């Protein structure tokens, strides 16, 4: 009798997991249909292509700006798409199927899974930059100690943009689920992203450097390829992903994710400050 009950329970649980997977698929297709995402793809591609072929105004310009400016439009687009996706159940006058077995957290989890679309695009773009720059012989970063004509972005550096998009997407979905009207949140979010993304060079010192969304190496007299904070900063971004995923949920996993994410982000910042040569 007990084994029959256990088998039935497993079937119900398996069916539930299958439903959540199907929900994630629906949300992913919905993300693919969002105009903002395709605008982000188009502008990011344009920035990357024009940035790659343009003449440099200063030594190391391509090395420093190609990655952050290339991913910046996609970050903006992901924020807009994420807020709208997260806000879908808040923007309607009543709730849709509030009584259904798959509730708000499962729907939000599926929306978080749909971030595979913008994150996937950025992974492809970064892979293209990484492979392309290695084939072309790298970037010129000037003369002097640690300067070279063949600098390439490390794996840690190339991992940063997809993580940034994941952070921004998760934060956007959390905001979308929280606010009733997304308009003001969209405006504030875009301004904040502009302040943290497109003007990345403002974040090149001390605490700001460790906590910046997009960490771009200043090229004083540093070994840009072996700067030790890169992977620590990736961990920091991973912590932020956990934090915002937790904030987007309401159920039992929320405190674990929020605390875990905050601790990982905090420790990563401390570690960066401890080892940073800046």
User: Which residues of the chain form contacts with another protein (CB under 8 A)?
Assistant: 15-16, 18-19, 22-23, 26, 88-89, 92-102, 106-107
CB nearer to another protein: give 64 or 106: 106
CB nearer to another protein: give 53 or 96: 96
Q: For residue 209, what are its two tokens?
A: 């450097």
Per-residue burial over 103-139, b = 16 or more CB atoms within 10 Å of its CB, e = otherwise:
eebbbbbbbbbbbbbbbebbbebbeebbeebeeeebb
In angstroms, give the least distance from the CB of 251 to another protein: 10
In angstroms, give the least distance from the CB of 246 to another protein: 19
CB nearer to another protein: give 101 or 144: 101
CA distance readout (Å), 135 to 23, 128, 160, 194 = 41, 10, 21, 32
In angstroms, give the least distance from the CB of 259 to another protein: 22
In angstroms, give the least distance from the CB of 44 to another protein: 24
DSSP states of 89-157 as a string? TTSSSS-SSTTSSS-HHHHHHHHHHTTHHHHHHHHHHHHHHHHHHHHHT-B---SSTT--S-B---HHH
In angstroms, give the least distance from the CB of 84 to another protein: 10
CB nearer to another protein: give 96 or 135: 96
Are 222 and 148 in contact, with CB atoms under 8 Å apart? Answer: no
CA distance readout (Å), 248 to 32, 35, 138, 268, 272 = 21, 23, 40, 22, 27
CB nearer to another protein: give 88 or 147: 88
- According to DSSP, the residues that pair with 139 across neighbouring strands are 151
In angstroms, give the least distance from the CB of 186 to another protein: 17
CB nearer to another protein: give 78 or 87: 87
State the Cα angle at 115 between 77 and 237, rounded to 5°. 90
């Amino acid at each position: 009798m007990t084994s029959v009950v256990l088998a039935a329970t497993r079937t119900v649980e398996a069916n539930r997991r299958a439903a959540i997977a199907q929900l994630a698929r629906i949300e992913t297709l919905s993300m693919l249909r969002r105009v903002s995402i395709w605008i982000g793809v188009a502008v990011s591609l344009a920035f990357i292509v024009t940035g790659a072929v343009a003449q440099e105004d200063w030594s190391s310009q391509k090395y420093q700006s190609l990655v952050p400016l290339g991913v910046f439009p996609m970050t903006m687009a992901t924020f807009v798409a994420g807020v709208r996706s997260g806000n879908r159940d808040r923007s309607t006058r009543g709730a849709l199927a509030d009584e259904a077995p798959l509730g708000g957290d499962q729907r939000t989890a599926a929306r978080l899974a749909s971030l595979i679309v913008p994150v996937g695009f950025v992974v492809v773009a970064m892979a293209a930059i990484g492979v392309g720059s290695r084939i072309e012989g790298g970037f010129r970063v000037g003369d002097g100690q640690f300067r070279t004509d063949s600098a390439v972005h490390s794996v840690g550096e190339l991992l940063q943009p997809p993580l940034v998009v994941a952070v921004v997407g998760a934060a956007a979905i959390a905001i979308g689920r929280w606010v009733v009207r997304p308009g003001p949140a969209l405006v504030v979010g875009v301004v904040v992203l502009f302040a943290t993304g497109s003007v990345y060079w403002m974040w090149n010192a001390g605490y700001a450097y460790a906590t910046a969304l997009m960490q771009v190496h200043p090229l004083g007299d540093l070994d840009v390829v072996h700067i030790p904070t890169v992977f620590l900063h990736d961990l920091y971004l991973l912590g932020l992903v956990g934090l915002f995923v937790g904030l987007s949920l309401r159920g039992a996993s929320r405190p674990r994710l929020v605390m875990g994410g905050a601790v990982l982000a905090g420790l990563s910042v401390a570690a960066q400050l401890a080892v940073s040569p800046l």
